[in-house]
Structure 1
Amino acid sequence: MSSLMTNASAMTALQTLSSTNKSLDEVQNRIATGYRVSTAEDNAAYWSIATTMRSDNLALSAVEDALGLGAATMDTMYTAMESTVDIVDQIKSKLVAASEPGLDRAKIQKEISALQDNLRSIADSAVFNNENWLSVDSGDAAYNATKEVVASFSRNSGVITIEKIKVDITETELYDDADQSGILDKAQANGNAVATIDISALTDSAADLTTLEGMVKDVDDALAQITDAATALGAAKSRVEMQRDFVSSLTDALDRGVGQLVDADMNEESTRLQALQVQQQLGIQALSIANSSSQNILSLFK
């Protein structure tokens, strides 16, 4: 039935066009933002998961930065420790050379003293981010023998866990101004400390040569302890670097996971856009045809 009061065809065409326009707006928004789910309105569950994962990813980025800082700190300490090994080797060699009778040990001591000054300078200069693990003062109120590097951030059933890599710097301390308990300023088995060894007054007497031999042994013992400390630092540095690589890979994996949830497939959206644009044009044309039916009815009365 044709009616002037109610144009059913026009109403149907208008509803179809409105639906098409709504879908077109949705597709255009996805293309503009790059997201299939950009707000909670699009998909509340996916939006909630993606928002939480993005937040955790930011935390992981902070962990990666902390690991980088920790690695740089350890690298500074390890580099200083390597230089220390070289200098202590030289002191040991000079002590061995000084065992030769008739040598001017006062002159040799001048060289040893210069090396001792270098050792202290290296330890004091091994600073990164206001951290020094080689030259310390255990009597300072701010002193802490355990250094920590944030290593991971995880969420399990809503419970957040932060793991840390710990380093005991009592194993790496070369100097301790509070009680001289560092590797270089503490007395070794024969009562000699590398930092204070002085052979200038030694003679060729049997007792002095025995004392000199004890100095060589003590320097060798200190060298072994320094080597152990360098090994510990190297192992901790390696662990931090491996953890940093893992956190970087984990961050990328979480980014991909979020993308799977909320990213728009641009190829699919582009195809949909073209199809909806055609539907929109057809809808406009259909509405125009439906509206012209009233004019056709009027012509019947002419």
Structure 2
Amino acid sequence: MVSIHTNRTAMTALSTLRLIDAQMETTMKRISTGLRINDASDNAAYWSTATTLRSDIKAKSAVVDTLGLSRAMTDIAGAGMSQAVDLVAEIKARLVMASEPGVDKTKINKELDELKAQLANVAQSSSFNGQNWLYGSPGTVSMPASIKNYGGFTSVGYIEIDTGQTTLIDPGDDSAGLLTRDHSVTTAGGAAETFYLLGSGTSGTAKQITLDATTTADELSGMVQAMDEMEQELIDANALLGVKAKGIERQEAFTKTLIDVSRKALGRLVDADMAEESTRLKALQVQKQLAIQSLSIANSQADMILQLFR
């Protein structure tokens, strides 16, 4: 039946054209954004998972940045500690030199004073980002290292370091500093002595490691022993910093791997196949042209009816 009120053919062609336009709009959106899931209306389950993944990636990226700062702080402290080890070894060598008969101990003491000043400078200058693990009051430093999600609870994991094991000088407490605390030794002559290098000593009976013309060989042997103990403590502290630095490095590499894996998973969920979308777009363009022609043919039916009355 042909009607002048209702053109069913034109309505069908128009409906098809609208459907093709909607499909083209979706395809163009995917091509322009590179995503097949742009919002929750595309696929609520995938969109929700993708949003969670993006949030996790941002959090892990922040952890990587923080680990970079922690690694820099550890490297600074390690460099300062290595320098302190070298300076302490120099002081021990000067004390051994002073044991030689006929050596001018007062001149060697001037070298010791210079080395002590360098030690204090190293401790004070080994700071980064407002922190100094070699100078100041000891404490526990917590460095963010991971984002943990277990049983529905999200928390931050930390790498901790006890700066009480690395502090060289504590201005408020000589007993807390590796360079200022007392060292009790037994001299070559069998005498019990207590020595300290910097500061004023922990106990009132401690003697400072310093030289003058009256310094005896027995005292020198005790000083060398005290410096040897101090050197071993610094070496242990430097080893601790090295272990922490390696741990931070491993955690940083692992977190970057997690980010890469998460990004791949995110891509599988929401990324558009650009080759497929391009092919679909070309097909839809052809379909649209055909739909427009069909609509034009359907609209020409009214003209055909008019021909009947001529």
Normalised to the residue count of structure 1, the TM-score between the two structures is 0.93
- C-alpha distance in 2 between matches for 1:176 and 1:200: 27
1:48 Cα deviation after fit: 1.4
What corresponds to 1:296 in structure 2? Answer: 304
> Does residue 258 of structure 2 align to residue 263 of structure 1?
no
> Does residue 197 of structure 2 align to residue 194 of structure 1?
yes
Residues 104 and 213 in structure 2, CA contact (< 8 A), matched pair in contact too: no
Alignment-mate amino acid for residue 121 of structure 1:
N
1:158 Cα deviation after fit: 3.0
SS class of match (2:174): coil
Q: Deviations over 1:226-261 (max 9, x none)?
A: 000000000000100111111112112212211211
1:218 Cα deviation after fit: 0.5
What corresponds to 2:41 in structure 1? Answer: 41
What corresponds to 2:53 in structure 1? Answer: 53
What corresponds to 1:25 in structure 2? Answer: 25
What corresponds to 1:7 in structure 2? Answer: 7
1:136 Cα deviation after fit: 1.1
Percent sequence identity over aligned pairs: 44
- Between 1 and 2, higher relative CO (CA 8 Å, sep ≥ 6) is seen in 1
What corresponds to 1:107 in structure 2? Answer: 107
Unaligned 5+ runs, structure 2:
186-193, 199-207
> Does residue 155 of structure 2 align to residue 161 of structure 1?
yes
1:46 Cα deviation after fit: 1.4
Alignment-mate amino acid for residue 265 of structure 2:
G
Residues 17 and 283 in structure 1, CA contact (< 8 A), matched pair in contact too: yes
Residues 153 and 163 in structure 1, CA contact (< 8 A), matched pair in contact too: yes
Normalised to the residue count of structure 2, the TM-score between the two structures is 0.91
Residues 1-302 of structure 1: matches in 2 within 5 Å?
1-137=1-137, 145-181=139-175, 182-190=177-185, 191-195=194-198, 196-203=208-215, 208-302=216-310
- C-alpha distance in 1 between matches for 2:292 and 2:174: 91
Unaligned 5+ runs, structure 1:
139-144
Alignment RMSD (CA, Å) = 1.2
Aligned length: 292
1:157 Cα deviation after fit: 4.5
